[in-house]
Amino acid sequence: MADQISSNDAFWELRPEDEHYPASVRELERPPQIIYGKGDPGILADMGLGVIGARRATPYGLAVASMAGRIAAESGITLVSGGAMGCDASAARGALDAGGKTIVVSGVGADTVYPRTSRDVFERAVEQGGAVIALVPWGQTPRKGCFPQRNVIIAALSHALLVCEAGLRSGTSSTAMAASDLGREIYAAPGSIFSPESQGANALIRDGGSIVCSETDLEMLISRDFGVLRLIQERVATPRNRLVSALVASPMRADDLAHSLGEEPLQVLRHLADYEASGMVTRLPDGRYAPTKEALLGARM
């Protein structure tokens, strides 16, 4: 289901001949005849950092996306995302929480929120000087075929595109392919070779994408490709114990984790229960345990 954006700001429509119609979209083979939007149309001219990833992301993918959004904001770069649940929303919140601006490229009407869980992202994007845009008319709800078109616009508005987490065949991978076809820089965060959620991102690195293994890596890539320096205050990392460190390498079931650490399974289960209660680890739908997004960000991955 979709909701309406509750704001009194005026809506607008851009056509290829209009002043604020983005040049990066005009260069497409078939640029959209109308871009529907809300917020500041001038922001569409900015060099954006696209940050995308799986909708059903793991805590690792969410943490990478949130980190990337924050770094974009600290670098003065506009974040571009689809506003979907998972990595898109996590990246947008990371940027917005750091005082940055974001462009949400929606697959539904620009006056509509979809999914509902991203309402804060859609509304804060407009409130903080960004924009929500769409290729479909006002009030349109989700329809088949809208989202692949949306992905091409995300690619076009992105001077560089970071893939946080993605399977081999996904909307994220199709967006990365569109960005590559447009000559955009491709970044990707590596994941476990045993994780289906990381196969797409790992394949991008194998095929020549720039690898992002740390905040410093992303900061250096932004400096190289956008010509800006990041302004931050020094943050203090928190230490990890052996159990959480093992899960950072790869989510595991309790028995596999016990074997890896050389500890008794019952003892490991007790530790996991304590860490889950304290918000340090979470149990994934398939039974594996992983550090939470908050735990990963607190340790400055």
Specify whether 290 is located in the same domain as 257: yes
Specify whether 262 is located in the same domain as 215: no
Tokens 């970071």, located at residue: 162
- Mean pLDDT, all residues of the chain: 89
pLDDT of residue 263: 85
Asked if residues 75 and 226 have their Cβ atoms less than 8 Å apart, the reply is yes
pLDDT band at 275 (very low <50, low <70, confident <90, very high): confident
pLDDT of residue 243: 82
- Whole-number Cα distances in Å, 124 to 77, 116, 132: 16, 14, 10
Nearest to 75 by CA among 298, 237, 227: 227
- Residue 90 DSSP SS3: helix
Per-residue pLDDT tens over the stretch 252-262: 888 988 888 88
- Residue 111 DSSP SS3: coil
Tokens of 267: 């003892």
Specify whether 202 is located in the same domain as 291: no
Specify whether 120 is located in the same domain as 251: no
Specify whether 168 is located in the same domain as 261: no
Higher pLDDT: 132 or 275? It is 132
pLDDT of residue 231: 63
- In one-letter notation, the amino acid at residue 24 is S
Q: Is residue 233 a part of any domain in this protein?
A: no
Q: Which residues contact 189 (CB under 8 A, 6 or more apart)?
A: 61, 64, 162, 163, 164, 165, 201, 211, 212, 213
Instruction: Tell me how many domains the chain contains.
Output: 2
Q: Is the pLDDT of residue 42 over 60?
A: yes
Asked if residues 117 and 56 have their Cβ atoms less than 8 Å apart, the reply is no
Specify whether 45 is located in the same domain as 178: yes
Return the CATH number at 255.
Answer: 1.10.10.10
Q: Is residue 231 a part of any domain in this protein?
A: no
For residue 249, what are the domain limits?
242-298
pLDDT of residue 2: 57
Return the CATH number at 182.
Answer: 3.40.50.450
Specify whether 46 is located in the same domain as 174: yes
Tokens 């800006």, located at residue: 228
Specify whether 73 is located in the same domain as 48: yes
Asked if residues 104 and 83 have their Cβ atoms less than 8 Å apart, the reply is yes
Nearest to 172 by CA among 191, 136, 197, 207: 197
Specify whether 71 is located in the same domain as 151: yes
Per-residue pLDDT tens over the stretch 68-100: 999 999 999 999 999 999 999 999 999 999 999
- Phi first, then psi, for residue 171 (nearest 5°) are -65, -35
Specify whether 200 is located in the same domain as 67: yes
Which pairs from 4-7 meet CB under 8 Å and 24+ separation? 4/111, 4/112, 4/113, 5/38, 5/111, 5/112, 5/113, 5/122, 5/123, 5/126, 5/132, 6/123, 7/38, 7/123, 7/126, 7/127
- Supply the angle between the helices 59-74 and 87-97 in degrees, to the nearest 10: 40
Asked if residues 186 and 176 have their Cβ atoms less than 8 Å apart, the reply is yes
Among 194, 226, 258, the domain boundary falls at 226
Specify whether 195 is located in the same domain as 272: no
Q: Model pTM greater than 0.75? A: yes
Nearest to 209 by CA among 230, 188, 178: 188
